[in-house]
Chains A and B, each alone.
Chain A
Amino acid sequence: MYSKAKLAMALFIASEASFFALLIVAYVFYHGQPQNGPNAADSLDIPTTTFYSLCLFSSSATLWLSERNLRRGQYDRVIAWLVATIGLGAIFLYGQGREYLRLFHNDVTISRNLFGTTFFTLTGFHGLHVLVGLCALAVVAGLVLRGLVRERQAEAVEAVGMYWHFVDAVWVVIFGIVYLGSLV
Chain B
Amino acid sequence: MKGHEFTEGIAGLVGERERVGWFSHEGLLGWVASVDHKQVGLMYIVAAFVFFGLGGIEALLMRIQLAVPNNHFLSPETFNALFTMHGTTMIFFVAMPLLTGFTVYLVPLMIGARDVAFPRLNAMSFWLTLFAGLMLYFSFFAGGAPSAGWFSYTPLSEAAFSLRSGQDYWILSLIVAGIGTVAGAINIIVTVVTLRAEGMTMKRLPLFVWMNFVNAFLMLFALPVLNAALVMLLIDRQLHAHFFTPASGGSALLWQHYFWAFGHPEVYIVILPAFGMISEIIPVFSRKPIFGYEFVAASTVAIAFLSFTVWAHHMFAVGLGHIANLFFAVASMSIAVPTGVKIFNWTATMYGGQLRFTTAMKFAVAFIVMFTIGGLSGVSFAVVPIDWQLTDTYYLVAHMHYVLFGGTVLASFAGIYYWFPKFSGRLLSERLGSWHFWLTFVGLNLTFFIQHILGMMGMPRRVFTYPALPYWAAFNMLSTIGAFVLLIAMLVFLYNVVMSLRYGETAGDNPWDAWTLEWATTSPPPVENFVRIPPIHGRRPLWDLAHPELADELGKVDA
Contact = CB atoms under 8 A, between A and B. Distances in A.
B193 A18 contact: no
A121 B235 contact: yes
Contact of A18 (B221, B231, B250): B221
A107 interface: no
Interface stretch (B240-248, B349-357, B516-524): B240-248
A26 interface: yes
Interface string B219-232: 01101110111011
Contacts of B239: 110-111
A7 B194 contact: yes
A18 B224 CA distance: 6
Contacts of A156: none
B190 interface: yes
A114 B242 contact: yes
B356 to A, nearest CB: 40
Contacts of B190: 4, 7-8, 11
A71 to B, nearest CB: 22
Interface residues of B, number: 33
Contacts of B345: none
Interface in A1-54: 1-2, 4, 7-8, 11-12, 14-16, 18-20, 22-23, 26, 29-30, 33, 35
A58 interface: no
Given A29-B254, A110-B239, A113-B249, A121 B232 contact: yes
A173 to B, nearest CB: 15
A32 B93 CA distance: 39
A19 to B, nearest CB: 4
A117 B236 CA distance: 8
A19 B175 CA distance: 12
Contact of A11 (B220, B229, B254, B258): B220
A22 B221 contact: no
Contact of B241 (A1, A12, A33, A111): A111
A16 B224 contact: yes
Given A4-B117, A14-B220, A15-B220, A26 B232 contact: yes
A14 B217 CA distance: 10
Contacts of A18: 220-221, 224-225, 228
B118 A8 contact: yes
Nearest to A37: B249
B221 A15 contact: yes
B194 A15 contact: no
B248 A113 contact: yes
A6 B90 CA distance: 34
A15 to B, nearest CB: 5
Given A33-B249, A35-B249, A111 B240 contact: yes
B432 interface: no
B241 A22 contact: no
A16 B182 CA distance: 10
A42 to B, nearest CB: 17
A7 B228 CA distance: 23
A111 B220 CA distance: 31
A14 B228 CA distance: 14
Contacts of B193: 2, 7
B124 interface: no
A83 to B, nearest CB: 29
Contacts of A35: 249
A114 B232 contact: no
Contacts of B223: 15
B380 interface: no
4 residue pairs, one from A and one from B, having the closest CB atoms? A22-B228, A19-B224, A111-B240, A117-B241
Interface of A: 1-2, 4, 7-8, 11-12, 14-16, 18-20, 22-23, 26, 29-30, 33, 35, 110-111, 113-114, 116-118, 121, 125
Interface of B: 117-118, 182, 185-187, 189-190, 193-194, 220-221, 223-225, 227-229, 231-232, 235-236, 239-243, 248-251, 254, 258
12 contacts: A4-B117, A7-B189, A8-B117, A8-B186, A15-B220, A18-B224, A22-B224, A23-B232, A30-B249, A110-B235, A113-B248, A117-B250
Given A4-B118, A22-B258, A113-B248, 19 more contacts: A4-B190, A7-B194, A8-B117, A8-B187, A11-B186, A11-B220, A15-B185, A19-B224, A22-B225, A22-B228, A26-B232, A33-B249, A110-B235, A110-B239, A110-B240, A110-B241, A111-B241, A111-B242, A114-B250
